[in-house]
Amino acid sequence: MDITHYMQALGQGARQASRQMAAASTAAKNDALNAIATRIRSRAEELLAANARDLDQARADGLEPALLDRLTLTAKGIESMATGLEQIAALPDPVGEISDVKRRPSGIQVGHMRVPLGVVGIIYEARPNVTADAAGLCIKSGNAAILRGGKEALHCNQAIAACVREGLEHAGLPAAGVQVVETTDRAAVGALITMPEFVDVIVPRGGKGLIARISQEARVPVIKHLDGNCHVYLDDAADIQKALPIVENSKTQRYGTCNTAESLLVARARANELLPQVGALLAAKGVELRCCPESLEILAAGNIPEELIRMADESDWREEYLAPIIAIRVVAGLDEAIDHINRYSSQHTEAIVTENHSHAMRFLREVDSSSVMVNASTRFADGFEYGLGAEIGISTDKIHARGPVGLEGLTSQKWIVFGNGEVRR
């Protein structure tokens, strides 16, 4: 099979289908989403069996624990895929929405209309739920999609893709509205990202290597999801009753996700009080502490097992561990915390714990990340938690969409003008 030819055929199909998807009625799109959800639910055992085959292979290939965690599909995960699709169906249709219409001195009325992007190419690794979420979001936002999942999730993705295809057909929408690339040849990615005539935007989800390669080679705009080196900063005005659960939840609720905290900053004025309690909490969960000299001195005086504590080096401030490890640094206060974050963060998600209003507002304004939080766990940076229904990724880019990308991120606004024969003077 000639990969370039194969991908161009997919692209042509998608471009053609995109016109029907853009013009589809809200009812037809919702019908398709609900039909897909029904199929995913009724085939739960089939999906779990396909996932088990993928997991066996992945374990045999020695996949890392964090990646195995992402690959794992549970009964709860299946239900949440189906619910996600139903939630997307329940969301307002963004396509055709007219807003901000204003009359201008010339007499014309100028406003915006929300429209699909066209054809969205999504490249992702071993997370089977992405197939359902991405298909759902693209359908509702009136786009055609080409999905290229990781080879580790191949069997599960194919089973989900069958549900999607049947759901589209059930609703009278073109099966080519969502196409899954059925080859694991890496050349398929190279072709997908260099067909501006067929693909309007690429959303890559995966490791740094993949993203770097795609950004380098793409001839199509890319909505990037880079790594998540997220910070929690315990301010000198932190409430300890909020600080402890937020650090624990941000770091330990799940290790393999991009919104997990990887660095902890503590204001010097509170370090002696807060660090021993935070350290004990994290060590009890087996989290390794990589400390600046000052925090090391405070923490080493406690009962942290030796194998769970050591000096951090410069690289730790930039690391996305995706593992039970956290970098810890004492800072002078708010200014140094903001400087540290803007220097080392991957601009994903950062949280401040503080009761001081001015500190909270300065942190929100001056920290240059896609999600900035006051007194909440970084784990909330997520399409479901933000009310988007589902997310297609968390963008660490600065243009178009930042943070969790849902329906709006898959559309853009064109200008519309209502005139009555006006000409320009």
Question: Which distant-in-sequence residues (6+ apart) come within 8 Å of 388 by Cβ?
Answer: 404, 406, 407, 408
- The residue among 20 and 38 lying less far from a copy of itself, judged by its C-beta, is 20
Find, among 348, 351, 338, 329, the residue nearest to 395 by Cα. 348
Q: Considering the rule CB under 8 A, would residue 356 count as an interface residue with a copy of itself? A: no
Q: Considering the rule CB under 8 A, would residue 366 count as an interface residue with a copy of itself? A: yes
Site string for a copy of itself, 121-140 (x = CB under 8 A): --------------------
Number of residues located near a copy of itself, criterion CB under 8 A: 71
Among 9, 48, 49, 113, contact with a copy of itself (rule: CB under 8 A): 113
- The residue among 308 and 372 lying less far from a copy of itself, judged by its C-beta, is 372
- The minimum distance between CB 101 and a copy of itself, in angstroms, equals 11
Q: Considering the rule CB under 8 A, would residue 284 count as an interface residue with a copy of itself? A: no
Among 35, 71, 144, 223, contact with a copy of itself (rule: CB under 8 A): 223
Question: Which distant-in-sequence residues (6+ apart) come within 8 Å of 146 by Cβ?
Answer: 10, 11, 14, 119, 120, 121, 122, 179, 181, 192, 199
Binders in 72-111 for a copy of itself, by CB under 8 A: 96, 102, 104, 106, 108, 110
- The minimum distance between CB 360 and a copy of itself, in angstroms, equals 8
Q: Give the 3-state secondary structure of 205-270.
A: ECCHHHHHHHHHHCCCCECCECCCCEEEEECCCCCHHHHHHHHHHHHHCCCCCCCCEEEEEEEHHH
- The minimum distance between CB 386 and a copy of itself, in angstroms, equals 5
Q: Considering the rule CB under 8 A, would residue 294 count as an interface residue with a copy of itself? A: no
Binders in 381-400 for a copy of itself, by CB under 8 A: 381, 385-387, 397-400
Conformation bin of residue 125: beta by default, left when phi > 0, alpha when psi is -120 to 50 = beta
- The residue among 248 and 288 lying less far from a copy of itself, judged by its C-beta, is 248
Binders in 2-61 for a copy of itself, by CB under 8 A: 19, 22-23
Paired strand residues for 123: 148, 204
CB atoms within 10 A of CB 382: 19
Q: Considering the rule CB under 8 A, would residue 190 count as an interface residue with a copy of itself? A: no
Q: Considering the rule CB under 8 A, would residue 379 count as an interface residue with a copy of itself? A: yes
Contact 168, 32 (CB under 8 A): yes
CA–CA gap between residue 160 and residue 167 (Å, rounded): 11
CA–CA gap between residue 46 and residue 64 (Å, rounded): 25
Binders in 232-271 for a copy of itself, by CB under 8 A: 239, 241-242, 245-246, 248-250, 253
